[in-house]
């Protein structure tokens, strides 16, 4: 897998017979007290290696568009105008990359939190993807499709177990962060890319200390177990990760580092 080109809001990667487009929706600042130890208590102190922005953790918010040249799938949709003003750049990122929203028919959602699913609806209240045919999401996260998201409910495809959503993307349930949290295993002619949603929130800490969890993990123990399993899988040859909250553009490889793990980005961060 290799970086091809990029812009202010996007980065393009070649992945065998597929193209992977990282789309920057923006960022969100969160207090360090969101980080939890194995007892569920806030961490006593942060290592100096964890950067802060005015005392907060700055989490990138990324989505990913994957195409084989004929078919495509957009994984996660950002926040639109439903959360903080520092997010909502997904549509600008698509335009910058030359992707028409009318061409998007399939969307896969990693979980039901607003910074992943609210971008299905544009700021003016219209459907962001006018030709949308299918929205894949874990069956246990389907309750989000009310209110703002009600207009697309009739196209929701619930995921209940491991299932192929097309010839090269397999949905893998990974409950923990939410009951329906789902990782999408993208298989090209040269390897696997795990688009893993919110498996990690703070990459500067949780690869070195994967036992550290996140306050908003619905089941912290289950989320910790899922993270351990995925990290180990990612050390296999020709495996890569794409993370919603890895530093944009958020595409990397994972290696072992002593008893922990290390992250190597395939492209420089988008500022």
HEC letters along 19-47: EEEEEEEEEEEECHHHEECCCCCECCCCC
CA 60, CA 271: separation in Å to the nearest integer?
A: 10
Which residue is it, tokens 């949603």? 197
What length is written for the chain?
271
* Mean pLDDT, rounded, for 51-80: 97
DSSP state of 127: B
CA 21, CA 251: separation in Å to the nearest integer?
A: 10
* Mean pLDDT, rounded, for 84-109: 97
Say if residue 163's pLDDT is above 70: yes
Residues 119/75, Cβ–Cβ less than 8 Å: no
* Mean pLDDT, rounded, for 207-227: 97
Which pLDDT value is given to residue 271? 59
The region of weakest confidence among 38-47, 146-155, 163-172 is 38-47
* Mean pLDDT, rounded, for 218-231: 97
* Mean pLDDT, rounded, for 228-240: 98
CB-count exposure of residue 6 (10 Å: 0-12, 13-18, 19+) = buried
CA 84, CA 25: separation in Å to the nearest integer?
A: 11
Per-chain mean pLDDT for the chain: 97
Which pLDDT value is given to residue 268? 85
Say if residue 246's pLDDT is above 70: yes
* Mean pLDDT, rounded, for 87-103: 97
Percent of the chain residues past pLDDT 70, beyond the cut: 100
* Mean pLDDT, rounded, for 33-58: 94
Q: Identify any residues that bridge with 123 across adjacent strands, giving them in sequence order.
A: none
* Mean pLDDT, rounded, for 195-216: 97
* Mean pLDDT, rounded, for 126-148: 98
Which pLDDT value is given to residue 44? 87
Query: Whole-prediction pTM value?
Result: 0.97
Query: Could you tell me the fold of the domain covering 2-265?
Result: Metallo-beta-lactamase; Chain A (3.60.15)
Residues 77/128, Cβ–Cβ less than 8 Å: yes
At 269, is the pLDDT very low, low, confident or very high (cuts 50, 70, 90)?
Answer: confident
Percent of the chain residues past pLDDT 90, beyond the cut: 97
């Amino acid at each position: 897998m290799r970086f091809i080109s990029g812009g202010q809001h996007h980065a393009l990667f070649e992945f065998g017979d597929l193209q992977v487009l990282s789309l920057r929706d923006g960022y969100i600042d969160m207090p360090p007290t969101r980080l939890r130890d194995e007892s569920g208590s806030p961490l006593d102190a942060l290592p100096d290696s964890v950067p802060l922005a005015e005392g907060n953790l700055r989490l990138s918010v990324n989505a990913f568009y994957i195409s084989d040249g004929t078919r495509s799938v957009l994984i996660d949709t950002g926040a639109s105008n439903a959360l903080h003003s520092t997010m909502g750049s997904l549509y600008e990122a698509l335009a910058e990359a030359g992707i028409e929203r009318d061409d998007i028919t399939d969307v896969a959602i990693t979980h039901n939190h607003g910074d992943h699913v609210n971008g299905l609806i544009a700021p003016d209240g219209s459907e962001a993807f006018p030709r949308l045919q299918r929205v894949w999401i874990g069956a246990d996260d389907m309750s989000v499709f009310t209110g703002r998201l009600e207009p697309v409910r009739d196209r929701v495809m619930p995921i209940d177990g491991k299932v192929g959503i097309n010839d090269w993307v397999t949905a893998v349930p990974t409950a923990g962060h939410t009951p329906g949290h789902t990782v999408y295993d993208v298989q090209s002619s040269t390897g696997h890319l795990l688009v893993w949603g919110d498996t990690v929130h703070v990459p500067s800490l949780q690869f070195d200390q994967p036992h550290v969890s996140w306050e908003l993990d619905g089941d912290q123990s289950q989320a910790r177990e899922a993270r351990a399993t995925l990290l180990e899988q990612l050390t296999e040859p020709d495996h890569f990760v794409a993370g919603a909250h890895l530093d944009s553009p958020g595409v990397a490889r994972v290696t072992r580092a002593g008893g922990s793990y290390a992250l190597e980005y395939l492209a420089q961060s988008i500022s």
